[in-house]
Structure 1
């Protein structure tokens, strides 16, 4: 089972909120009961998160190539959720002259941390 993208998830959530607001109190209760039923059913069927596909880190690697490598290593991660942290690190490298090796080390930690959170959320 694949996970929906962040934007698709947000769009569905907005749509659901709009529908919910238009319902009577009794229909809202029914919708909540059905949502709880579905959530319980989903909890019974755990989502299988694929293992990362490790790609060896080259000795000489640019930050851009590292981002591509890590994206390929962790294809199951929602890149939109990584954007804030990864763009901050990229900015530190490009605008502030932070060493590529240091930034890549941190990028690897960011991707690993997001993968761990994804696995924990699906347990």
Structure 2
């Protein structure tokens, strides 16, 4: 599982998700949002904007730090096949209307990275 960012409405159910899948279910979060989390998360380094690989159930997915909503914000890219062609599906977990110029610029910078 790839958590888009560390707000409770996104990562608050991590332990509950492990119940049906088992304790070894990998759950990834951006390192910038990992402080205080106690559910054994795997970290994606958010001190860089480089795309990083993660593995879930034998499938390689890709995570890119996009510090827009939080300092550990991530987007995911999951390989899919459409009509015999491999493509990457973008997963984005947060969009909102920025409240001020500072957050508007953060959203713009994160969107440009994607």
Q: Normalized against structure 2, the TM-score is what?
A: 0.29
**When you count helix as a share of all residues, which structure comes out higher?**
1
Q: Which has the larger radius of gyration?
A: 1
Q: Which has the higher contact order (CA 8 A, sep 6+)?
A: 1
**When you count strand as a share of all residues, which structure comes out higher?**
2
Q: Normalized against structure 1, the TM-score is what?
A: 0.28
